[in-house]
A and B are shown apart, each in its own frame.
Chain A
Amino acid sequence: MSGGGLSGLSSALGGLGGGSGGTASGIQNVVQGASAAFKDYSPQEERELGSGFASVLLGARPLVRNDQLQRYVNRVGLWVAEQTDSRKDAQGRPVVYDWRFGVIDSDAVNAYATPGGYVFVTKGLLHTLHSEAELAGVLGHEITHVVHGHYLAAVKKGGFAQMAGGIIEARSGNGALSGAMINMVRNIYAKGLDQSDEYDADRYGMLWAARAGYAPSGLIRSLQAVAGGSAQDANYQMLMATHPPAQERIARLNPLVAGKFAGIDGMSNEARYRTALRALD
């Protein structure tokens, strides 16, 4: 199954340690923390929890009403998601995510994920990016939050395990979420994830996008694009409040892009991206 060109890539990624300043054991800790969080939920439960998260998020702003654009983002996203390494559930079976991607009708510049395979980008973000490779990098970042259990870790760390259980129960019985459950979801998105999980998502997001055939520099280009925003701009407020500074994220990706990824060009698909975005206007 494995082998070929990618084994080199994977080992390159492992060999880079924690980027600037971290150690290989730092990465190990992140991964172990995530798998510990996964143990608390079956894939079905994780999905129910995710649909509860998505429902609150989409309650803040709805989806863009444009089937063509939504399917375009789903095609790019699913292709990138298919490149991830599969995780085994408690019974040793590979976990298969039923991925759903959506464009939120918002001028804010941001992207979100939920447990269980929901991934969202805002219309404002799509306008800020320039190519499909950049979009693939962003989606790869969000996909990592899902497959590495970063949101589950945030639930656990926040002491919300019981509340999360309530959401799963409510969603599987088609019931409504209580005020406290809604508050928990709002809280998690407002607070954001662990900063180390954001850097982890950057590294792996770049890997998945590269496996999909995209220019690994896409994620860096996307960070450079959002780095042009101002914290005074309400459209960047959430992104900047919940993520490490773009310049620091770029700096930490430098060893990857200047190292083992240096010889890989990949696709950027600027023209197709521009065509897809025309549907927005």
Chain B
Amino acid sequence: MTGLRQRSGWHAWVLAVLMAWSLPAVAQTHEVTTATPLRATPSLNSMVLRQLAVGAPVQAVQTQGGWLKVKVGEQQGWVRLTHVHAVAPARPAPQGAGNALASLFTGSSTAPTATTGTRGLTQEQLANAQPAPQEVQRLDRYAVSAADAGSSRVAAGSAPPGSATMTERRNENHSGRALAGHRCLRCGAGGL
């Protein structure tokens, strides 16, 4: 059992990643930006279910390659990812003073209101910025090793701890940086 898992570990991991990937994302409203057909499958050769006009609202279901699966009313189908854009970014409402400021920006003023004292990073705050070398030094404590970065990269959320990871295989097979990239691309894409 253990032996089997060791051997098939990374395959199981890739499968788990792909399965997680195909789970419906949080439905987000998108708007059609280029008139485009709604297709039955994510392919240019697939059946056209209906035409979508510019401005048509659609609900995003999932992405696959350059395609987005969407719901239009009761109908589901695929559109080119680049032919829609999200209309309302899913951002949590700003807290405290942020709320008051946010409501200011929806008013009639055309110039962004000064936000000195808030946590923006505006032109004005930049114009008053004084060097903070201690903050630059602070970055060192957050730095990670290449091995750490690699292992976290491939041990996707759903991978069981201890399963063969990309880093392990990378350590076995490679030392070069570019090769790591090759390997991963194969696993993430070409591998299946």
Q: Which residue among B86, B121, B138, B179 has the maximum number of chain A CB atoms within 10 Å of its CB?
A: B121
Q: Do A54 and B185 have beta carbons less than 8 Å apart?
A: no
Q: Do A9 and B132 have beta carbons less than 8 Å apart?
A: no
Known A86-B177, A234-B113, A265-B65; contact A63-B127, beta-carbon cutoff 8 A: no
Known A55-B133, A182-B129, A265-B189; contact A258-B26, beta-carbon cutoff 8 A: no
Q: Do B66 and A257 have beta carbons less than 8 Å apart?
A: yes
State whether the Cβ of A49 lies closer than 8 Å to any Cβ in chain B: no
Q: How far does the alpha carbon of A127 sit from the alpha carbon of B93 in the complex, in Å? A: 10
Q: Do B130 and A232 have beta carbons less than 8 Å apart?
A: no
State whether the Cβ of A43 lies closer than 8 Å to any Cβ in chain B: no
State whether the Cβ of A29 lies closer than 8 Å to any Cβ in chain B: no
Q: Do A234 and B63 have beta carbons less than 8 Å apart?
A: no
A-B contact count (CB 8 A): 276
**A107 neighbours in B (Cβ, 8 Å):** 94, 98, 118-120
Q: Which of A30-38, A156-164, A193-201, A267-275 contacts B (4 or more CB under 8 A)?
A: A267-275
State whether the Cβ of A214 lies closer than 8 Å to any Cβ in chain B: yes
State whether the Cβ of A210 lies closer than 8 Å to any Cβ in chain B: yes
**B25 neighbours in A (Cβ, 8 Å):** 130-131, 270
Known A130-B90, A211-B185; contact A108-B65, beta-carbon cutoff 8 A: no
**A6 neighbours in B (Cβ, 8 Å):** 178, 181-182, 185
State whether the Cβ of A212 lies closer than 8 Å to any Cβ in chain B: yes
Q: Do A265 and B184 have beta carbons less than 8 Å apart?
A: no
Q: How many Å from the CB of B28 to the closest CB on chain A? A: 8
Which B residues fall within an 8 A CB radius of A? Answer: 17-18, 20-21, 25-26, 28, 30, 33, 63-66, 80-82, 84-92, 94, 98, 101-102, 105-106, 109-110, 112-115, 118-123, 125-133, 135-136, 138-144, 146, 148-150, 152-154, 156-158, 166, 176-182, 184-190
Known interface pairs A1-B179, A83-B181, A182-B129; 15 further A-B residue pairs with C-beta atoms within 8 A, sorted by A's residue number: A5-B185, A6-B182, A58-B136, A100-B142, A107-B94, A108-B119, A128-B89, A128-B90, A228-B89, A234-B114, A237-B122, A238-B126, A254-B82, A262-B65, A265-B64
A-B contact pairs, 17 of them (CB 8 A): A59-B131, A74-B149, A75-B144, A75-B152, A77-B149, A79-B153, A105-B119, A128-B91, A210-B185, A213-B187, A215-B63, A217-B65, A232-B106, A232-B112, A247-B85, A258-B82, A268-B21
> 10 nearest interchain CB pairs?
A213-B188, A211-B181, A58-B135, A70-B142, A60-B129, A78-B149, A228-B89, A213-B184, A272-B157, A257-B66
